[in-house]
Amino acid sequence: MAINTHESTSPPLQETVVHNNNTARAIEIVELSLLVSVLVYRVVYFEEQDRYLPWLLAFVCESWFTFNWILSVCIKWNQCTTKTYPERLLDRVKESEFPDVDMFVTTADPVLEASILTMNTVLSLLAVDYPSDKLTLYLSDDGCSPLTFYSLVETIKFAKVWVPFCKKYNVQVRAPFRYFNSKSTPLEHDSSHQFQQDWKKMKKEYGELYKKIDVAAERPFPCDRDPDFGVFSGLHRSDHPTIIKVVSENKEGNPTHLPHVIYISREKSPKHQHHYKAGAMNVLARVSGVMTNAPLMLNVDCDMYANNPQVFLHAMCMVFGFKNEENYAFFQFPQAFYDGLKDDPFGNQLANFFYTVNGISSCQGTVYSGTNCFHRRKVMYGSSPNDTTKSDYTINNEDLHKIFGKSVELRESAAQILSESNPNIKRRSSPSNFIEDAIHVASCSYEYGTSWGKQVGWLYGSTTEDLLTGLGIHGRGWRSAVTSPDPLAFLGCAPATYPSSLKQWKRWVTGLFEILFTDKNPLLLTIKGNLWFRQALGYLFFSLWAVRPIFELSYATLPAYCIITGSHFLPKIDEQAFLIFMGVFVIYNLYSFWEGRRIGLSVRTWWNLQRMGRVNAMTGSLFAFLRVMLKLMGLSNTVFEVTQKEHKSNDDGGTGDDNDNDSKNAGRLTYDKSPVIMPGVVILLINMIALINSVLRLTKVDYSENWMGVGGLGLGEMFCSVCVLVYFWDFLKGLFGSGKYGIPFSTILKSGALALLFVQACRNSF
């Protein structure tokens, strides 16, 4: 069923498609009633237990699982998606009325984030189908790296031929590293002689750019003799003044020239907190406010690229397409991955949140996921939906000073944005006239005494600044929208090794949990602010990931404890209640399998998600929990550790550095000495000990006399132990693996000691 959300005679720019969700709802309700039956059973039979501890613990864990299930059912109840029609855009809006867009790309480390990847992000954005005199690209470099700057300068030279080439032949993929990969041949698009020649020229030029950057990366300083690079010499990345350089300027405002391109490395000093990515985004917001002040801002991480040249037009369909369009704060495109490892072996490609995300979309709107998102500047500046309906909305200079800080230029531009008066033409055409002002607002003490990071801009206080910032926006009553065009709007890379994926997972869960302890707690915002209740549940669901390990670890310990002590936490197989537990298990798995299949996940992917769901919860999430606890106690702070971006080049240019052996083993878990995996190893070991214990006992049962004696041993508990082993199968292999595929001996030793301690504690509790 489609709803036309725009009253107009011309066909709508976007449609919200509501999906039938009845089957899923029915299954979810059945599962919920089984879970509730389990709880009732626990209460009713509590008195009859000779050991209360396992029973009580099981009850607590199961209550949590039930609560979590209720949360997810509430979130997923309604399912909808948005479809956009860029081909109808020009019927509705004149091209001259398209808004200006400031594009932000962030990079932080030229080693972890190969410059050539960042440059491809830049190229793909410079080449989008949109009047280029309305665009400005800002590259924020938290690494203060002359290499990044050098790469940008060289990239802009290449862009001057690349962008016209893309537009002339309507190239679909405008990030050259993807366009020139071995699969694409020039014949695919056009076999004309002219095209063939241009194609070859482009490929050669890109190869040269690649080589230049590669060679520069090997040198301590990319380009000694050029005075432009002088400013970088002797600087340390965490202690240096602001560097802002206008690399390319479209002074004439020619719609066919390149957009303005501006390099920024904000001031850093060990005396001042820099707030990681959120801090970088706020500097971008301020610098662009002073220089170009576009009403829309697009933010893209350096590991993503625009994969669909029409992405801006799709975004405009959302900007102009909704009824009450003024109430929409941001327009998100999903994060999808190219060359992701097959079947998502580390469970970090997030396909399993498809229904959760669609469910949230049908409330107040999708969450902001940190990249691929168009923001309205006035919303980032702290306004609320009702502010704009007040026609006389003005903000006095004193308030502007308190909110936005000392810079007169910034206050003036902010006032323009908030009152929605015409954008300043002089800013637009020559950003280089505003370098002084831009340097001022990029200084590391600029934010003191202002609202930046608190009410305005990207919010501080969580390593997932994205969720927190989006939550703040929804909390003021704004809505948001997401659309997923074909081909996908943006593609990026997911961490390709287990340690880096674990690090990323830990950071996410840490940040999500931190949100609960800020003034943007979702429950608080529903009570005091304008956050919708179901939307709050959505945020709560993510925030509580850090709490899961407590219950999952306890539940995974229970079978071992019971086997070792000869007690029970599950009904025996001849009890009818056994069926309830079996029902919960079977229906849960079939349901998640069916969900996965509906979005086209392979069986293997489904299994990897199940498996890594348990493994990540009991390792990374536990550490995230502990980390936030330490922060709350004031003992340590949380940090944003940048993830390593995998860069495999499959150019013909002979730039590939793949190791054959490694690609065969891609997806296999590798281990380092980090203690994060230890809880997982301990859980595995105690369940192994328990199983050996029960096998030994099984051999002593006299089957001829009483085969039910086996039941007495607790088949349910044994089954659970086996499940733990299966979920942690990779760790089991890691115990015996060698090299990087083996769990380090010291980790095994420490975990072994903990496991023995546990077994001893169980024995003592007899």
Q: Active-site residue numbers?
A: 142, 466
Burial 161-191 (b: 16+ CB within 10 A, else e): ebbebbbebebbbbbbbbbbeeeeebeeebe
371 binds, among Mn ion, ligand UPG, none (CB under 5 to 8 A by kind): ligand UPG
Please say whether the dihedral angle defined by the alpha carbons of residues 502, 504, 507 and 513, taken in this order, is positive or negative: negative
Hey, what are 388's tokens? 């704009």
Hey, what are 611's tokens? 């498996």
Annotated binding site for UDP-alpha-D-glucose: 113, 142
Tell me how many degrees the CA angle 196-201-205 measures, rounded to the nearest 5: 150
Residue 269 and residue 271: Cα distance in Å, rounded? Answer: 5
Q: Would you say 371 or 450 has its CB closer to ligand UPG?
A: 371
Q: Would you say 123 or 642 has its CB closer to ligand UPG?
A: 642
Residue nearest to ligand UPG (CB): 370
If you write DSSP's letter for every residue of 281-321 in order, what string do you get? HHHHHHHHHHHT--SEEEEEETTEEE-STTHHHHHHHHHHH
Q: Closest by alpha carbon to 278, among 465, 412, 143?
A: 465
107 binds, among Mn ion, ligand UPG, none (CB under 5 to 8 A by kind): ligand UPG
Question: Looking at 34-119, which runs of residues are DSSP E strands?
Answer: 79-84, 101-107
Q: Report whether 148 contacts 121 (CB < 8 A).
A: no
Q: How far is the CB of 695 from ligand UPG (least distance, A)?
A: 43
Q: How far is the CB of 372 from Mn ion (least distance, A)?
A: 11
513 binds, among ligand UPG, Mn ion, none (CB under 5 to 8 A by kind): none
Number of H helices, E strands in the chain: 30, 14
Q: How far is the CB of 492 from ligand UPG (least distance, A)?
A: 7
Q: Would you say 249 or 646 has its CB closer to ligand UPG?
A: 646
Residue 725 and residue 661: Cα distance in Å, rounded? Answer: 28
Q: How far is the CB of 458 from ligand UPG (least distance, A)?
A: 9
Q: Would you say 543 or 643 has its CB closer to ligand UPG?
A: 643
Q: How far is the CB of 85 from ligand UPG (least distance, A)?
A: 28
Burial 318-355 (b: 16+ CB within 10 A, else e): bbbbbeebebbbbbbbbbbbbebbebbbbbbbbbbebb
Residue 336 and residue 350: Cα distance in Å, rounded? Answer: 9
431 binds, among ligand UPG, Mn ion, none (CB under 5 to 8 A by kind): none
Binding site for ligand UPG (CB under 6 A): 106-108, 113, 140, 142, 276-277, 280, 301-303, 370-371, 464-466, 504, 508, 511, 640, 642-643
276 binds, among ligand UPG, Mn ion, none (CB under 5 to 8 A by kind): ligand UPG
Annotated binding site: 113, 142, 277, 301
Q: Would you say 28 or 466 has its CB closer to ligand UPG?
A: 466
Q: Would you say 319 or 509 has its CB closer to ligand UPG?
A: 509
Hey, what are 600's tokens? 């086209």
Q: Would you say 303 or 409 has its CB closer to Mn ion?
A: 303
Cis amide leading into 487 (omega within 30): yes
Binding site for Mn ion (CB under 5 A): 303
According to DSSP, the β-strands at 296-301 and 101-107 are: parallel
Q: How far is the CB of 618 from Mn ion (least distance, A)?
A: 24
Cross-strand partners of 388: none
Q: How far is the CB of 117 from ligand UPG (least distance, A)?
A: 10
Annotated binding site for Mn(2+): 277, 301
Task: Name the strand (E) or helix (H) holding 2.
Answer: strand 2-4
